[in-house]
A and B are shown apart, each in its own frame.
Chain A
Amino acid sequence: MIDYFKNVWTWFYTILLGMRITLKHLFAKKVTIQYPNERYPIPPIARNRLHLDPERCNGCMQCARICPVQCITVETIKVVPIDPEKPTMFDGSPRKIWVPRYDIDFAKCCFCGLCTTVCPTDAIKHTIDFEYSSYTREGLIYHFSNMTPEKIEEKKKLLAEWTIKEKALKAEKAKQDSNVSSNEVN
């Protein structure tokens, strides 16, 4: 019998305790904010959308290789010695590789940050922008290369020219070499 009344009393009492706490919170300062108008600061280290600086990218493809989900697609064209532009990197050293295509598919990206750690030139970086969306999957593929199609075409042509030239040079060199060696044999 005593247990029964005790039981009823604890029901009543604990409910009152809970009500006291919720009443206290009713007048407490609110923690949520009106998001697009105000926002909480995002630390600069935060890993959100990736951004590539095409000027810095040297086309080493390490990011594409380390990516666990293969969301980075990189295509490269070798810079040939006969290039009239004499391209340079951000620090003035000669550019070895053109990057005509550098695509990141953010539908696949898992924001692990491995690509940023392997990049030798700090070209790829996480930004603090997390508000990007698209109505299509294609809209989530970001193209970072700054080369125009004409330029890519031109560079490809140059490369093709150079390879032919190089082949010829090599063949000539080989011929000379063989001549030399045959001479030696003789």
Chain B
Amino acid sequence: METFNVFEKIFGLNFLSALISVILPLVFLIIYALIAILGELKISAWIQERLGPMRTGPYGILQPLAEVVKLIQKEDIVPAGANRLLFNLAPYVIFAGSFAGFAVIPFSAAFVPAEINIGLFYVFAVGAFAVIGIVMGGWASNNKYSLLGAMRSASQMISYEIPGALVILSAAVLANSLDMQKITTLQDGGFWNWFLFGGPGNWTKIWIIPFTLLLSLIYMIASLAETNRTPFDIPEGESELVAGYHTEYSGMKFAMFFFAEYSNMFIVAAILTVVFLGGWTSPFGTFMGGFWWGIFWFILKAMFIVFIQIWLRWTLPRVRVDQLMYLGWKVLLPFSLVCFIVISLYRIIY
């Protein structure tokens, strides 16, 4: 089988190449998280006509670093009555779940940490891992707010996996594959070939363009709910549940939760990018294409999605639990089902 991992090509399939393949995404994740936190701080500030952090470094760009240092220094408190084992384990479970998703994300034409042909399926499987960590943390905290947050989170995640999965299914039908790298290469050759605009094909694909647009929108909404971000941040809804499932966490463990949230944001952005925005392919055909440009395009597109997530967060109020369920089961699910049927019909006819 042909490999897309450049390190495997260089070093061969051994421990060294595997190690590099693991560490490289982790380094990327850390740098990305710092940038995303800074982005969150700065964008929220600018939207609210504030300056945001300005003291740490020029224009405050070192602020996330300072926050990490602060969190490391903080006392690690375990509340009395907490289940120590689960309490200590939960942040790492969540982080492991979100980091595992990085294994199949195609950063470029020549670099996928682990090339497996059911990449999309795998991402969904490990993405659901996070809910275990949240319920663990919420239950082990011995705090009623945490428990409420955890329960909300569990119900929320379950209901949003389904429309999200249906969107991915539709995309898989269109691409005839679950392999993320293959889906990306299919969309090569300009933005017109993106699945956002119906994918590659002749003029007949115009019929499905509204449906693919709708699908990407549905995935965007479902992913917001999956990553617990506003308007769906009810598991941690700060005005109701103080901080939800991570109320009792402090120091590095809280940082882990924080980290996992941003890493989750990137994963859903990456899936959206790969499935609908052509992954690492250049929007201008062969212009600005290639290995390095591929990384550039991929990160740019993913970061744009992350920006939209941040932008939405600072615009909208929070929905209520029952409304979230309503939206998930009664709006997103029927719409995604309709899209799925239409796209399947399209595949059968053409």
Contact = CB atoms under 8 A, between A and B. Distances in A.
Q: Do chains A and B touch in the complex (CB under 8 A)?
A: yes
B229 to A, nearest CB: 14
A45 interface: no
A82 interface: no
Interface in A1-44: 8, 11, 15, 18-19, 21-23, 25-34
What band does the interface of chain B fall in when counting residues whose beta carbon is under 8 Å from A?
10 to 19
Decide if the interface of chain A is mainly helix, strand, loop or mixed.
helix
Interface of B: 43, 45-51, 54, 311-312, 314-316, 327, 331
B49 A19 contact: no
Given A18-B316, A25-B48, A33-B51, 15 more contacts: A8-B331, A15-B312, A19-B312, A21-B315, A22-B311, A22-B314, A25-B49, A26-B43, A26-B46, A26-B47, A29-B49, A30-B49, A30-B50, A31-B50, A32-B50
6 contacts: A15-B316, A25-B46, A27-B46, A32-B51, A34-B51, A34-B54
Contact of B315 (A11, A18, A27, A31): A18
A99 to B, nearest CB: 44
Given A8-B331, A26-B43, A19 B50 contact: no
A27 B311 CA distance: 13
A23 B49 contact: no
A30 B316 contact: no
Nearest to A21: B315
Name the 10 nearest CB pairs between A and B, nearest first: A22-B315, A18-B315, A32-B50, A22-B47, A31-B49, A26-B46, A32-B51, A26-B47, A30-B51, A30-B49
Given A8-B331, A26-B46, A19 B311 contact: yes
Nearest to B326: A7
Contacts of A33: 51
A129 to B, nearest CB: 23
